[in-house]
Each structure stands twice: as structure tokens, then as C-alpha cells.
Amino acid sequence: MSAGGLSAITLRPFLPKSCVNLLDRHIFKSVLLTCAGAVGLFAFVLMLGNLIRDLLPFLLSGQLSVTTFVRLVGMLIPAVAIYALPMGMLTGVLLTLGRLSADSEITAMRAAGLSLARIARPVLILGFLGTALGLYVNFQSMPAARVQYHKDLDAAVAANPLSFIVPKTFIRNFKGFVIYVGDKQGSVMRDFWLWQLDREGRTTQLVRAESGRFDYDAATNELILTLARAQVEERNPKQPENFTESPRIVSFEKSEPQRLSLASLFGPPVLRQKLQWMTYAELRKEETRVAALPFTHATAADHDRAVMKVRLTVQEKFNTALAILSFALIGVPLGIKVSRRETSANLGVAVLLALGYYMLTVAVSWLDRHPEYHPDLLFWLPNAVFLSLGVWLFLRIERR
């Protein structure tokens, strides 16, 4: 063979198929484990607010047992998972591929004849699987979990609505009232004090009773307060702090039952009709129902907005699931290009990209009152931008 013939031959390294499959499993496993850890971290951060605001007070007051508390925490996971999954996917891809690139493992793979697309195949497969999981969470798991969460929480509170009354503690849960109980045996209280406050927090009425009892009316979600051997001190509601004016004092052996609404303390009953808590079939049924509602020329705009609100909910659920694949795709070239081992740096890049994505999503959602702009179609814009950017970066690195 001539020298010219030798020069025309392309000498390309070759890897056995078994080695390529081994690399696939290595990359898939590394990305999967890192993504799982990142998803857990983001889910915990997103859940923390709900835990502190909604569940912890009930646990500390004794209205929730530890078992019920843990079960309710588990029901919160699907609600935050759909936001944690895209961010966790992006973080896991950046961390794993950034480390492989920094250790020159990506360079070695490409030198052995593997294209960037071939190297990224396990990551893209994981992205498709994550998107399928996101669709299931959004349209089935999360709606069922949220409804059951509120049912169980309401049942736990209703089962023991008086547990928030702790003896020798000033109770400020009721707006406009402060309650103090010296002793409590079941629903019977001793040394009962109640201060009624105005908007500025000044005492306008003081009630002190030797004993009393709270009963719960499940039908109206109210506490019924009955006092015995009580004394009521009423002050001038316009000048409650004017102590030169003698208060009016009334004593009685037994009071008329007084009702205190628990809605102000525990919140109003939760309605099942929240769009975010509906499955795909329920959303389609709701869209058909709203679209079939009668309307006039004057109410046509409101009717269109109501229909668009349902459609936006469906598109949002689809797009938050698709974001998992978008973040996986854009994470591959970014992870290789950045080439960092540092967890904090890659985590910062992931958070910034996720913030950019969700800002675009929020901007589109503001158009829900303008159906003429078709915000249900514009909801695909953030994913289109990220997918296009990912493909462009992918091709740019591949050509190097």
C-alpha cells in the first residue's frame, strides 16, 4: 500500500460494545444517585415552610400524633416533588458530568471514538424517565395526596379540637382574643381568663370565671364556651385605656353559650374543586363544564378567562414535567463546559437556571386574564427556549 493510501486511512480508536455498555451503566448510575440526593435536598427545602406553618403547631399542641405527623409529611412530598425533580435533575447532571469532565474522563471517552450524543444517551434516557414520572406525579399522585392530606389533617384536628388549650399558657390563636386557663381536665377548665382586644390590641373586655367548659360543634366547626361563676369587666370601647373612667362590671352564675369559630384558627374547610388538585380526567371534565356554562355578551370575557384558567392548569402540569427533560438536555453541555468538581459552584448554576425558567413561567401565567394572547400555548415557551439552548450548546461542543 502506498504512503498516500496510508494517509487516507482514518485511524479511529475503537471500544468493544461491552465497554460502552459499562460506561452507560456507570454514567446512568452516577447521575441517578446524584439526582436523587439533589431532589431530596430541594424537596426538603420546599417542604420546610409547609411543615413549620401548617403541621408543626398541631404537633406541638398535641393535636397530631407522631404517626399522623409522619404520614402527613409523606403526603406533602408529591406536591413539592414536581418542582424538586427538574432542579434535582439539572443539579445531578451538572455535578456528575462536571466531575467527569474535570477528571478528563469525558475527553478519554471522546478520544476513544464516542460522540457527545452517545455519551449523553444515559442522561437523556434518565430525562425521559423523569418526565414520565413527573406526568404521573402531576396528574395522579399529587392531586390524590393533596386531597387526602387535607382530609386527614381536618379529621385529626376535629378529633381533638381542644388540645390547643394548654394550661398556664396565654393562647393567642383566636384573632381579637387572648385566653388563659389555670387548669384543664378534659373539656372542663378552672381559673379561666379571656381578654377581648380591639384592632390596636387594647383590652375592651375582661372575662374571669371560676370554671367553664368548651364543647365542639362539628356541624358548624365552632367551639361553644359556657362559663360558671364569672365576672365581666367592660371598658369604654373608644378609650379602653382611660382608667379614670370606672369599668362596668357584671357578675353571673352561669353564662349563655358563646360560639367561637375554629375557621379563624385552623382555616376554612378545603374544597376539592381546586384546579391544581385535580387529575387529568377531572381537569378535562371541568374544562367541558366551564365551557358549557351560559354567558352573555357582557360576561363573555369572564367566561373565556374561566376556560383559560383550566387550560393553563393542564399546560402547566405538562410543562413542569417536560422541564425535567429540558434541564437534563441543557445540563449535559453545561456540565462538560464548566468542568468543575465544586458542588457549590454547580449548585449555584443550577439554581440560577431554574430561577430563569420559573421566571419565564410566571411571566406567562400573568397572561391568564388575556385569553386573546393564548397563554396556554405560550406556556410552552420556557421549555422551547431551554430545549433550543440545550441543542445549540450540544452542537457547539460536538463540533469542537
**DSSP class per residue in 186-201:** TTEEEEEEEEEE-TTS
206, 229, 261 - which closes a domain:
261
DSSP state of 5: H
pLDDT at residue 317, rounded to an integer = 92
Residue 3 has pLDDT above 60, yes or no: no
The mean of the pLDDT values for the chain is 80
The answer to the question of residue 267 being in a domain is: no
192: nearest Cα among 204, 175, 210, 205: 210
pLDDT at residue 6, rounded to an integer = 36
Q: Are residues 183 and 142 in the same domain?
A: no
Q: Are residues 18 and 67 in the same domain?
A: yes
pLDDT at residue 340, rounded to an integer = 55
Q: Are residues 192 and 136 in the same domain?
A: no
pLDDT at residue 309, rounded to an integer = 87
Q: How confident is the model at residue 324 (pLDDT cuts 50, 70, 90)?
A: very high
Residue 400 has pLDDT above 70, yes or no: no
The answer to the question of residue 3 being in a domain is: no
Q: Are residues 83 and 52 in the same domain?
A: yes
The answer to the question of residue 286 being in a domain is: no
In this structure, the strands spanning 248-254 and 188-197 are unpaired
Q: How confident is the model at residue 9 (pLDDT cuts 50, 70, 90)?
A: very low
pLDDT at residue 164, rounded to an integer = 66
Burial code of 211-242, b = ≥16 C-beta within 10 A, e = fewer?
ebbbebeeeebbbebbbeebebeebeeeebee
Long-range pairs, 177-185, Cβ under 8 A, ≥24? 177/260
Distance CA 278, CA 87 (A): 24
Q: Are residues 61 and 143 in the same domain?
A: yes
C-alpha cell at 157: 384536628
Q: Are residues 68 and 113 in the same domain?
A: yes
R_g over Cα of the chain: 31
pLDDT at residue 381, rounded to an integer = 86
What are the angstrom distances between the C-alpha of 243 and each of 107, 246, 248? 84, 7, 12
The answer to the question of residue 30 being in a domain is: yes
The answer to the question of residue 272 being in a domain is: no
pTM for this prediction: 0.70
Q: Are residues 61 and 139 in the same domain?
A: yes
3-class DSSP state of 10: coil
pLDDT at residue 8, rounded to an integer = 36
C-alpha cell at 59: 404537633
pLDDT, one tens digit per residue, over 236-295 is 877 777 777 778 888 888 877 878 776 665 555 444 458 888 889 999 998 899 889 888
Residue that wins the pLDDT comparison between 352 and 148:
148
Q: Are residues 150 and 189 in the same domain?
A: no
Averaged pLDDT, 221-225: 79
Distance CA 145, CA 77 (A): 9
C-alpha cell at 100: 467527569
8 Å CB contact between 242 and 236? yes
The answer to the question of residue 38 being in a domain is: yes
The answer to the question of residue 82 being in a domain is: yes
* Lowest-pLDDT choice from 87-91, 180-184, 348-352, 386-390: 348-352
pLDDT at residue 263, rounded to an integer = 65
Distance CA 290, CA 292 (A): 5
Question: How many domains does the chain contain in total?
Answer: 2
Instruction: Sort residue 133 into left (φ over 0), alpha (ψ -120 to 50) or beta.
Output: alpha
229, 261, 293 - which closes a domain:
261
pLDDT at residue 322, rounded to an integer = 93
Q: Are residues 63 and 23 in the same domain?
A: yes
pLDDT at residue 225, rounded to an integer = 82
The answer to the question of residue 28 being in a domain is: yes
241, 261, 281 - which closes a domain:
261
8 Å CB contact between 150 and 270? yes
Q: Are residues 44 and 140 in the same domain?
A: yes
Q: Is 8 exposed, middle or buried (0-12, 13-18, 19+ CB in 10 A)?
A: exposed
Q: Are residues 229 and 331 in the same domain?
A: no
pLDDT, one tens digit per residue, over 327-366 is 998 888 888 776 555 555 656 666 777 788 888 888 877 7
What are the angstrom distances between the C-alpha of 22 and each of 27, 29, 102, 329, 332? 9, 11, 20, 22, 19
* Residue 183 lies in domain: 177-261
Cell 364569672, residue? 230
Residue that wins the pLDDT comparison between 135 and 297:
135
Q: Are residues 127 and 228 in the same domain?
A: no
Q: How confident is the model at residue 15 (pLDDT cuts 50, 70, 90)?
A: low
What are the angstrom distances between the C-alpha of 99 and each of 30, 103, 333, 395? 11, 6, 13, 21
93: nearest Cα among 326, 266, 331, 286: 331
Distance CA 367, CA 379 (A): 10
Residue 130 has pLDDT above 90, yes or no: yes
Averaged pLDDT, 86-111: 85
